A and B are shown apart, each in its own frame.
Chain A
């Protein structure tokens, strides 16, 4: 075991774990963050997505060592129930899920997309989210939610 100090949602957090521990388990179990989800552990579904220095990263395969120097943002770091981020508000307004298990990854990758492209086409949104699976098939609502958030963030 080794000690790591991580920058998560603007705070420093120190954990003692093996150096090859995937970030996901630290976020969920040590820091008790519910946002990132275990879906496959294989970088195939996107449920575990967080941002590291603004870029989407699959935390189920990213080791703690690989992110130790980065700024880590989870969905909890975007906003809260009383102070929603425009993306969170838009996903709620569009009722953009059934079970919602995929939602964390969708929001986080959408955040990275809107940061680099504030005016995406539907095609851009779909391309940015194409590596994320949604089994409940809420895809069309998710695209609408991202566009709604984009519009709000531009105004």
Chain B
């Protein structure tokens, strides 16, 4: 990433010029009495916060949402190009920069197209109207007689003018009204097409794409030395010896925070080793027990039972059969392929950070608190990282780099975590327990349903509360106050995400035990609680179907009135050639599952086929057929890519993954301790899209994970007649179940 100032221009001046070029007023905050505007336009109400038309024939769109390899930049440019009537090639996209883009919080929860896409759709439609009005004046014709082709406005009676000619006259420095009507789907050129992602060509040609590729003049390399365990404190370390090692520029020790900068990267890595060797730590046993005891421990922790929903159906018949079951999910890793990385530089008391954080504004807020400076003195600029799948170490490493950069005399520091830093210190997806019970009546209909969930937090991101949610802040000599995050409230939900069944189940009760104090740091891993809740819910639906002697597809349809839910279940069954009443043969079986992510986003149903090697206990998912309704689809191949990836990632979580630890230390250090699926284990995947061009966009990034886990669990039960309720389905557990 070339962030190098032009020759003869100091970095400072360069940054200032950069700011001048784009000098629009950032969004005025929503004042009382203002109309609610669509999507993220509501919080960022000026048109010029979203787009700029340049005399050189380009349009730049600004988004607070960042590229995670999910193709958001491409999807947003498709939306903008359609509303503006310009070719995609004219569009530039600027993502997440606290000095340049709207503040859209986190890029998370599969909300980017809904929030940023909706804002851009309305902003661009309105900008087009403003440009047409300016053209009408210039050409002396009514605006209604004008049409636009790739930015060239033509009057029906002749006469032309371009957006680029009008760039100076058409003032976008005004508040959006959202009164311009976006185009109907029938007039879309780009939306709905599998446009190639704009980020991909560079990724396969060695282009500067990632934060790891940021290179600045005078830059040095940093590494951290983390404590050996979550409860450890630094007792002593021989800093002087490490300072004398070749290339070492700085050693920073602040409480239990320890980091080193060196002229060369391999020197920083060696110095890190030397620091590790000489550091003495006071360790304490702060971790919970492992195995089944982990879940007993979680359920025993003090947390009030909160009723999420309770509804009674007085007309319901009495249950003739009741069942209950306990499902568990361990701590799991994001496991990014590229360890977290950031580049930081201090100049004249101001900090600039290049970061792959999912939320540059919240990160800036927490950095400001950590350093006791004002947010305006910090600029966070997004640069892509390796896929993060939620809140991993991306934000933490930004503070690490900034702490170390205070000691390098203004030289920028690029700090990347080592593999073990990532595995031991990323915030995990929380361990969870789901206790389900239900009853069926004489006709085999579900008349009573209860879902109780125990969980630690699923969102401890920066900006989510008053304290500082950055790892190093807890290790400093003056640590920042610990933060006890609140759960993400319904309707999206956090620990109870997707715990409320969408089926018509008579009396329904959902209760959560939210254990805010977690022995291992936890935060958002794709779907938050949704993955585990759908796993439990949809497994239990199959258990009740079996008790009722019903076919799992028919049983689901019988309890579903939402036509969109029915449609995906039917489509998945049909494309998978589902045969009611087919029995597993002991080694092969198939299962179905459904969920609407968050009960608000995309509908997704799937059928999974598994093959079980009974002797070794190995489970292979051979094929998955999924059907998805994501409302209006902006980029079909992008949706397929997300769903495909979600299914395979979930298969990996479901079959293989759990964080290991003893009572003191996390013992998951490398890929050897944390196997994930490989090429020879990956299922064939078919994705069927049910496009609904007249419905609003629904997020898909996390739609597949829950259903995939449950479909695999159901397929395994179908194949073997034995049900596994503890994730992951390792060979050991499968053998045990089959014994």
Q: Which residues of B contact A107 (CB under 8 A)?
A: 204
Q: Give the distance in Å from the alpha carbon of A136 to the alpha carbon of B109 in the complex.
A: 16
Q: Which residues of B contact A76 (CB under 8 A)?
A: 205-206
Task: Mark contacts of B409-434 with chain A using CB atoms, 8 A cut-off: 1 yes-contact digit, 0 otherwise.
Answer: 00000001011000000000000000
Q: Which residues of B contact A135 (CB under 8 A)?
A: 335-337, 386-387, 389, 649, 676
Contact call B201/A92, Cβ cutoff below 8 A: yes
Which of A45, A75, A81, A134 has the largest number of chain B CB atoms within 10 A? A134
Interface positions of A from 65 to 119, Cβ below 8 Å from B: 74-76, 79-81, 84, 88, 91-92, 95, 97-104, 107
Q: Which residue of B lies closest to A132 (CB)?
A: B679
B interface residues, how many (CB within 8 angstroms): 61
Contact call A100/B264, Cβ cutoff below 8 A: no
Q: Does B209 contact A (CB under 8 A)?
A: yes
Q: Does A151 contact B (CB under 8 A)?
A: no
Q: Give the distance in Å from the alpha carbon of A104 to the alpha carbon of B648 in the complex.
A: 21
Q: Give the distance in Å from the alpha carbon of A33 to the alpha carbon of B556 in the complex.
A: 54
Contact of A38 with B212 at beta-carbon distance under 8 Å, contacts A81-B207, A100-B69, A134-B337 already known: yes
Task: Mark contacts of A115-138 with chain B using CB atoms, 8 A cut-off: 1 yes-contact digit, 0 otherwise.
Answer: 000000000011101111111111
Q: Give the distance in Å from the alpha carbon of A142 to the alpha carbon of B645 in the complex.
A: 12
Q: Which residues of A contact B206 (CB under 8 A)?
A: 33-35, 74-76, 104
Q: Does B722 contact A (CB under 8 A)?
A: no
Contact of A136 with B649 at beta-carbon distance under 8 Å, contacts A81-B207, A99-B68 already known: yes
Q: Which residue of B lies closest to A38 (CB)?
A: B416
Contact call B201/A140, Cβ cutoff below 8 A: no
Q: Does A53 contact B (CB under 8 A)?
A: no
Binding site for B on A (CB under 8 A): 17-18, 21-22, 25, 28-29, 32-35, 37-42, 44-45, 47, 74-76, 79-81, 84, 88, 91-92, 95, 97-104, 107, 125-127, 129-143
8 further interface pairs, Cβ-Cβ under 8 Å (given A75-B205, A135-B389, A143-B679)? A37-B212, A37-B386, A47-B338, A98-B645, A100-B199, A133-B676, A134-B337, A137-B646
Q: Give the distance in Å from the alpha carbon of A155 to the alpha carbon of B330 in the complex.
A: 50
Q: Which residues of A contact B209 (CB under 8 A)?
A: 34, 100
Q: Give the distance in Å from the alpha carbon of A47 to the alpha carbon of B645 in the complex.
A: 19
**28 contacts across the A-B interface (CB closer than 8 A):** A17-B266, A21-B264, A29-B221, A34-B207, A37-B338, A38-B339, A40-B339, A41-B419, A79-B205, A91-B200, A97-B203, A98-B71, A99-B68, A99-B338, A99-B386, A100-B200, A100-B209, A101-B386, A102-B386, A126-B682, A129-B679, A133-B678, A135-B337, A135-B389, A137-B644, A137-B647, A137-B649, A140-B682
Q: Does B208 contact A (CB under 8 A)?
A: yes
- Nearest CB of chain A from residue B580's CB, rounded to whole Å: 29
Q: Give the distance in Å from the alpha carbon of A92 to the alpha carbon of B195 in the complex.
A: 12
Q: Which residues of A contact B385 (CB under 8 A)?
A: 99, 101
Contact call B419/A40, Cβ cutoff below 8 A: yes
Q: Give the distance in Å from the alpha carbon of A97 to the alpha carbon of B215 in the complex.
A: 24
Q: Which residues of A contact B671 (CB under 8 A)?
A: 40, 42, 44-45, 133
- Nearest CB of chain B from residue A56's CB, rounded to whole Å: 15
Q: Which residue of A lies closest to B213 (CB)?
A: A34
Q: Give the distance in Å from the alpha carbon of A119 to the alpha carbon of B678 in the complex.
A: 22
Contact call B69/A98, Cβ cutoff below 8 A: yes
Contact call B208/A34, Cβ cutoff below 8 A: yes
Contact call A130/B682, Cβ cutoff below 8 A: no
Contact of A40 with B670 at beta-carbon distance under 8 Å, contacts A18-B266, A74-B206, A134-B337 already known: yes
- Nearest CB of chain B from residue A48's CB, rounded to whole Å: 11
- Nearest CB of chain B from residue A110's CB, rounded to whole Å: 11
Interface positions of B from 365 to 406, Cβ below 8 Å from A: 384-387, 389
Query: Within the complex, which residue of A38, A74, A129, A141 is in contact with B338, where a contact is CB–CB below 8 Å?
Result: A38
Contact of A81 with B196 at beta-carbon distance under 8 Å, contacts A42-B419, A47-B338, A140-B685 already known: no
- Nearest CB of chain A from residue B1's CB, rounded to whole Å: 9
Q: Does B312 contact A (CB under 8 A)?
A: no
Which of A39, A44, A47 has the largest number of chain B CB atoms within 10 A? A39
Contact of A92 with B419 at beta-carbon distance under 8 Å, contacts A100-B203, A135-B336 already known: no
- Nearest CB of chain B from residue A146's CB, rounded to whole Å: 11
Q: Which residues of A contact B70 (CB under 8 A)?
A: 98
Query: Within the complex, which residue of B208, B215, B265, B637 is in contact with A95, where a contact is CB–CB below 8 Å?
Result: B637
Q: Which residues of A contact B246 (CB under 8 A)?
A: 18
- Nearest CB of chain B from residue A61's CB, rounded to whole Å: 12
- Nearest CB of chain A from residue B18's CB, rounded to whole Å: 22
Q: Which residues of A contact B647 (CB under 8 A)?
A: 137
Contact call B264/A17, Cβ cutoff below 8 A: yes
Contact call A133/B205, Cβ cutoff below 8 A: no
Interface positions of B from 709 to 735, Cβ below 8 Å from A: none
Q: Give the distance in Å from the alpha carbon of A59 to the alpha carbon of B128 in the complex.
A: 51
Q: Which 4 A-B pairs have the closest CB atoms?
A: A99-B69, A100-B203, A137-B648, A101-B386
Interface of A is mostly: loop
Binding site for A on B (CB under 8 A): 68-71, 196-197, 199-210, 212-213, 215, 221, 246, 264-266, 269, 335-339, 384-387, 389, 416, 418-419, 637, 641-642, 644-649, 652, 670-672, 676-680, 682, 684-685
Contact of A98 with B641 at beta-carbon distance under 8 Å, contacts A75-B204, A130-B679, A140-B685 already known: yes
Query: Within the complex, which residue of A81, A130, A136 is in contact with B387, where a contact is CB–CB below 8 Å?
Result: A136
Contact call B676/A97, Cβ cutoff below 8 A: no
Contact call B387/A101, Cβ cutoff below 8 A: yes
Which of B213, B266, B644, B671 has the largest number of chain A CB atoms within 10 A? B266
Q: Which residue of A lies closest to B387 (CB)?
A: A99
Q: Which residue of A lies closest to B684 (CB)?
A: A140
Query: Within the complex, which residue of A25, A32, A133 is in contact with B266, where a contact is CB–CB below 8 Å?
Result: A25
Q: Which residues of B contact A133 (CB under 8 A)?
A: 337, 671, 676, 678
Q: Which residue of A lies closest to B333 (CB)?
A: A135
Q: Give the distance in Å from the alpha carbon of A125 to the alpha carbon of B679 in the complex.
A: 9
- Nearest CB of chain B from residue A109's CB, rounded to whole Å: 11
Q: Give the distance in Å from the alpha carbon of A106 to the alpha carbon of B491 in the complex.
A: 41
Q: Give the distance in Å from the alpha carbon of A76 to the alpha carbon of B208 in the complex.
A: 11
Contact call A95/B679, Cβ cutoff below 8 A: no
- Nearest CB of chain B from residue A101's CB, rounded to whole Å: 4
Contact call A39/B197, Cβ cutoff below 8 A: no
Contact call A22/B645, Cβ cutoff below 8 A: no
Q: Which residue of B lies closest to A47 (CB)?
A: B337
Q: Which residues of A contact B264 (CB under 8 A)?
A: 17, 21, 25, 29
- Nearest CB of chain A from residue B548's CB, rounded to whole Å: 35
Contact call B69/A97, Cβ cutoff below 8 A: yes
- Nearest CB of chain B from residue A18's CB, rounded to whole Å: 7
Contact of A138 with B670 at beta-carbon distance under 8 Å, contacts A79-B205, A101-B338, A130-B680 already known: no
Contact call B641/A141, Cβ cutoff below 8 A: yes
Q: Which residues of A contact B199 (CB under 8 A)?
A: 100
Q: Give the distance in Å from the alpha carbon of A101 to the alpha carbon of B387 in the complex.
A: 8
- Nearest CB of chain A from residue B91's CB, rounded to whole Å: 18
Q: Which residues of A contact B387 (CB under 8 A)?
A: 98-99, 101, 135-136
Q: Give the distance in Å from the alpha carbon of A75 to the alpha carbon of B385 in the complex.
A: 19
Q: Which residues of A contact B389 (CB under 8 A)?
A: 135
Q: Which residue of B lies closest to A18 (CB)?
A: B266
Q: Which residues of A contact B208 (CB under 8 A)?
A: 34
Q: Give the distance in Å from the alpha carbon of A98 to the alpha carbon of B205 in the complex.
A: 15
Q: Give the distance in Å from the alpha carbon of A21 to the alpha carbon of B645 in the complex.
A: 36
